[in-house]
């Protein structure tokens, strides 16, 4: 990879030499283009190649950290039972561990029943708004407005905000690219990274993301870690890259340098 900015070049050298490296990556907008149909999302080939190269390097752990439910994340990531990639779904409320499988969350029967009732209410309230779609999630639901015009999007978010505020004001609300998510679990990508760090005993972490929900994880990183933001906009990240191909190139270069040190 050529043309690395000085901050990125130094960051990669630091990560290449750490004892155990955790590479934790958001999926949508970081490895895969954003899609109007969320389940159509797939990693760009260059991003997949870079992820696979990193998993082949000794003492290097790769994890996907996403707001998607674990089951949906496995589909879009084309993640098989033999994969070496760790998963943190639902913003860190669900995990999949290589050699162990899915780590089941605590039973939440009453919360699930309430989730289903509120999601049904959100669907009814937004049924006549073109381009609005309510996504079922393990611990809540999301209001997608990527295909809606601005007026319909604003109305959908207002209607659902009112439902949630009236019935479950304690639920966590998150905003992202043309989506508002509501959840009865309060884990975030910061807690997901902390859990992954502890489970893998990582001595340094690279976390990369593109959206508002990724900033929790970026702000939680320590002095020896590296945060990467994909795209434009303000971020707590130490390194900025323009787009997904640039992110893939950065990961590929990290794999090359770390293999030279650890291979």
Q: Which helix (H) or strand (E) holds 97?
A: strand 94-97
Q: Quick check: is 75 in a domain?
A: yes
Q: Does residue 2 have a pLDDT over 70?
A: no
Helices (H), 127-227: 150-167, 189-200, 215-220
The verdict on 80 and 18 lying in the same domain is: yes
What is the dihedral sign for C-alpha 136, 137, 140, 141?
negative
CA 61 to chain CA mean position, Å? 16
Question: Are 14 and 21 spatial neighbours (Cβ–Cβ below 8 Å)?
Answer: no
Q: Does residue 65 have a pLDDT over 60?
A: yes
Residue 3: predicted pLDDT: 56
User: Average pLDDT in the 153-175 region?
Assistant: 96
Split at pLDDT 50, 70, 90, the class of 110 is: confident
The verdict on 166 and 40 lying in the same domain is: no
Task: Count helices and strands (H / E) in the chain.
Answer: 8, 12
Q: Quick check: is 12 in a domain?
A: yes
The verdict on 43 and 78 lying in the same domain is: yes
> Left, alpha or beta for 107 (phi > 0: left; psi -120 to 50: alpha)?
beta
- Which domain-ending residue is among 183, 210, 234? 183
Residue 162: predicted pLDDT: 97
Q: Which helix (H) or strand (E) holds 74?
A: helix 70-76
Look up the CATH number of the domain holding residue 86.
3.40.50.1000
pTM of the model: 0.85
Q: Does residue 105 have a pLDDT over 90?
A: no
For the chain, the maximum distance between any two Cα atoms, rounded to a whole number of angstroms, is 58
List the domain range (segments joined by +) for residue 65. Answer: 6-105+187-262
Instruction: Identify the CA nearest to 76 among candidates 35, 104, 105.
Output: 35
Token couple for 190:
């910061």
């Amino acid at each position: 990879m050529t043309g690395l900015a000085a901050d990125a070049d130094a960051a990669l050298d630091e990560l290449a030499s750490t004892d155990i490296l955790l590479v934790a990556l958001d999926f949508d907008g970081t490895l895969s283009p954003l899609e109007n149909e969320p389940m159509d999302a797939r990693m760009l080939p260059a991003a997949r190649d870079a992820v696979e190269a990193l998993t082949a390097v000794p003492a290097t752990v790769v994890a996907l950290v996403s707001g998607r439910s674990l089951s949906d994340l496995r589909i879009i990531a084309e993640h098989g039972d033999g994969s070496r990639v760790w998963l943190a779904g639902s913003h860190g409320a669900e995990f999949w561990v290589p050699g162990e499988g899915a780590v089941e969350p605590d039973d939440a029967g009453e919360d699930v029943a309430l989730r289903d009732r509120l999601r049904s209410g959100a669907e009814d309230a937004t049924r006549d708004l073109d381009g609005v779609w309510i996504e079922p999630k393990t611990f809540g639901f999301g209001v997608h407005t990527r295909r809606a015009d601005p007026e319909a999007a604003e109305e959908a978010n207002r209607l659902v905000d009112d439902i949630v505020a009236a019935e479950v004001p304690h639920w966590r609300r998150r905003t992202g690219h043309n989506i508002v998510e509501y959840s009865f679990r309060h884990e975030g990508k910061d807690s997901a990274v902390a859990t992954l760090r502890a489970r893998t005993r990582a001595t340094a972490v690279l976390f990369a993301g593109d959206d508002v929900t990724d900033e929790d994880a970026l702000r939680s990183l320590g002095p020896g870690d590296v945060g990467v933001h994909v795209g434009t906009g303000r971020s707590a990240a130490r390194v900025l890259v323009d787009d997904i191909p640039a992110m893939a190139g950065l990961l590929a270069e990290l794999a090359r340098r770390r293999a030279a040190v650890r291979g």
